[in-house]
Structure 1
Amino acid sequence: MSSIAPTAPPPLDPAKFRDPLVTARGEVRATVALTGLRTLWVNTGTLCNITCRNCYIESSPRNDALAYITAAELRPFLDEIGQDGLPVGEIGFTGGEPFLNRDLPAMLEDVLARGHRALVLTNAMRPMRNHAAALLALRDRHGDALTLRVSLDHHSAVLHDLERQEGSFAIALDGLRWLAQGGFRVHVAGRADFGGQGEAAMRDGYAALFAAEDIPIDAADPVALMLFPEMDAAVDVPEITTACWGILKKSPDSLMCASSRMLVKRRGAAAPAVLACTLLPYDAQFELGGTLAEASRPVALNHPHCARFCVLGGAACSR
């Protein structure tokens, strides 16, 4: 019985995503206006306790391209939100592994004390457990205003460990159990088609895992269990034109950059900068300024991730 090997996806056309105004075919590139800043992301630094095979931000124990942001550096942006009456409901913390940043508990307290919700993306491994006492204190003071989203790339140890490192699934699952047993509000992030199963089968697999471990997460809830599309900027994807909104029956207001921005501090920089998107920390064209007001201008969808992840993939990092 013969079999046909799967064909590799076509590489990205080098003529695409070069001009922020027009596509390779000369059509007007789509842009997204900021309709209202509802989520502010903080990249706490690119250092991580592990190295994953396909980390979009290339986090590792050695990559400090994005330095640790401090509580003092975050505070002016929180002040700006209050002074300008911006409709920010949630502050999200990502990395790297956010719990490697020693200022994270202080930043969370500042955010939560001002009445915002806080979301932390974590691998739930040793760095998180090192902050157990601070987390329990935050839980006691702020309850469900704090959410921790744990990265489990797959519901099985084999595939999760293949992506992250051997033994990491057991450690992450232990961290997730600790959070659930401690009464924290917990979510999980996975990958929609990891292992070629398809989203429905993935959700069934996570549901079985959560039931077996007595973890109160509804695997059918797309927020409680976020399954993200794969990202590979080298694989071909259509450019998004202004005509695409009507063709796809999609509103630009539904994209992340219509309602969110991200703070980063580049290694050697004197101060943090505001970026358009959590997915594009290294692309200079998506750096919008040094304040939230400066960063309120429209964003041109001039990157493969804009098409694959947000427009066609339908993904969003927040609620």
Structure 2
Amino acid sequence: MPEGAHDHTPLDSAKFQNPLITATGEMRASVSLSALRTLWFNTGSLCNITCANCYMDSSPSNDDLAYLGLDHVLAYLEEIRTEGLNVPEIGFTGGEPFMNRDLINMLEAVLERGHSALVLTNAMKPMWQKRAALSALADRFVMSGVKIRVSVDHYTQRAHEKERGAGTWAPMEKGIQWLAAQGFSVSIAGRTLWNEAEDQARRGYQQLCDAWGLSIDCSDPARLVLFPEMDAADDVPEITTRCWDLLKVRPDAMMCATSRMVVLHKGDAGPRIAPCTLLPYDRRFDMGALLVEAHTPVALNHPHCAKFCVLGGASCSVI
């Protein structure tokens, strides 16, 4: 039975300070927006549970990101239309998106305009309470539907609940099986914090999906997304312009090359745009209020940029 192991080597305080230069004096890597393929809405940072290590610091008490309203989403959908932007996918994350009372209406607006929708959820009580409205929405938009990605931190109950808390497995299992029975396109988000090889993890998840009767191919990285564990205090390397060739990775493969995220900070008059789903709080990454303002290159000036995207090769979208 695997156990979690967090390496909390303190972050070198000289790193990730200058957006142009690394601590060693080299040119910091940056990523240009190649095409806006996924626009994310962070529906709010409140969540119904508190995880041991939440990427978004979400919890039942963290309201630093206020609930977005339907009017906010409609405004950005209208900007997409009027500016002629080709944005095929609209994503919703949090917090727990189903805690936002406007989520179903937001999904309806997205689908009515021809976008695909992706919701990241723990599939627990907040989703369960909206299942009738969610099912009706899926029936109405039968051709496009809604893609749902459920957080299952490990394929064993013990490890999942080690991260998410006692009693979190059963409601998640009930939720994901209901989604599958309703015909939703379901995928899973897991974590790689368990000191096990990727092929071992994928085999374990496949056995779980088979036991649940889910038609999910866990060898497909779009159906089982394994996210690297992140801690902003860990000492991770900075990414220089030389790293693209050294690591054999492409800037246009990074999440911020094709994504942006809308957030509403508590106390702000309106939403702002961040480069990706991982940086909702850091004001250094504020890209303005409009999508047309958010085309500037993103300096990889945060530990998450290095560990999650460049070194981890992870992305939240499915496009």
**TM-score, normalized by the shorter chain, greater than 0.5:** yes
TM category, shorter = over 0.9
Q: Is the 8 A contact 1:116 1:145 kept in 2?
A: no
1:209–1:23 Cα change, 3 Å: same
Q: Which residue of structure 2 aligns with residue 83 of structure 1? A: 82
CA offsets, 1:92-114, max 9 Å, x none? 00000000000000000000110
> Counterparts of 1:283-298 in structure 2 under 5 Å?
283-298=282-297
User: Hey, what's the Cα distance between the residues in 1 that align with 2:236 and 2:263?
Assistant: 27
Task: Name the aligned partner's letter for residue 119 of structure 1.
Answer: L
The separation in 2 between residues aligned to 1:263 and 1:195, in whole angstroms, is 32
- Stretches of structure 2 that go unaligned for 5 or more consecutive residues are none
Partner Cα distance (2:69, 2:7) in 1: 43
TM-score, structure 1 normalization: 0.96
Deviations 1:247-288 (A, max 9, x none): 112110000001100000011111110111211111111110
1:259 aligned to 2:258? yes
Question: Which residue in 2 is equivalent to 1:197?
Answer: 196
Shift of 1:195: 2.2
CA 1:26–1:115 in 2, change beyond 3 Å: closer, same or farther?
Answer: same
CA contact (8 A) 2:7 2:234 kept: no
**Contact 2:122–2:151 (8 Å) recurs in 1:** yes
| CA deviation map 1:150-186 (0-9, x unaligned) | 0000011101011111110111011000001111111
The whole-number CA distance in structure 2 between the counterparts of 1:30 and 1:7 is: 27
- Residue 197 of structure 1 and its aligned partner are, at CA, apart by 1.8
The equivalent of 1:3 in structure 2 is none
> How far off its partner does 1:7 sit?
10
SS at match of 1:20: coil
Deviation at 1:9, TM superposition (A): 5.7
* Contact 1:277/1:286 (<8 A) preserved: no
Paired-residue identity, %: 57
Q: Determine if the alignment matches structure 1 residue 152 to structure 2 residue 152.
A: yes
Question: In the alignment, residue 155 of structure 1 is paired with which amino acid?
Answer: Y
Number of corresponding residues = 313
Cα deviation, residue 138, structure 1: 1.1
Distance 1:48 1:316 in 2: 22
Separation in 2, partners of 1:158, 1:195: 12
Question: Superposition pairs for residues 134-153 of structure 1, below 5 Å?
Answer: 134-143=133-142, 144-153=144-153
SS of the equivalent of 2:141 reads helix
* C-alpha deviation, 1:130, in angstroms: 0.7
- Provide the C-alpha distance between the structure 1 equivalents of 2:119 and 2:56, rounded to a whole number of angstroms: 16
CA 1:78/1:8 → structure 2, altered by over 3 Å: closer, same or farther?
closer
Map 1:210-249 onto structure 2 (within 5 A).
210-249=209-248
| TM norm structure 2 | 0.96
Q: Which residue of 1 aligns with 2:302?
A: 303
Compute the displacement of 1:145 (Å): 3.4
**2:134 paired with 1:164:** no
- RMSD over aligned Cα, in angstroms? 1.3
- The amino acid of 2:259's aligned partner reads S
> SS at 2:44's partner residue?
coil
Runs of 4+ in structure 1 deviating by more than 6 angstroms, as ranges, are none
**Other structure's SS at 1:293 match:** helix
- Give the distance between the partners of 2:44 and 2:7, measured in 1 at CA: 34
| Whole-angstrom distance in 2 between the partners of 1:8 and 1:215 | 34
Q: Is the 8 A contact 1:189 1:228 kept in 2?
A: yes
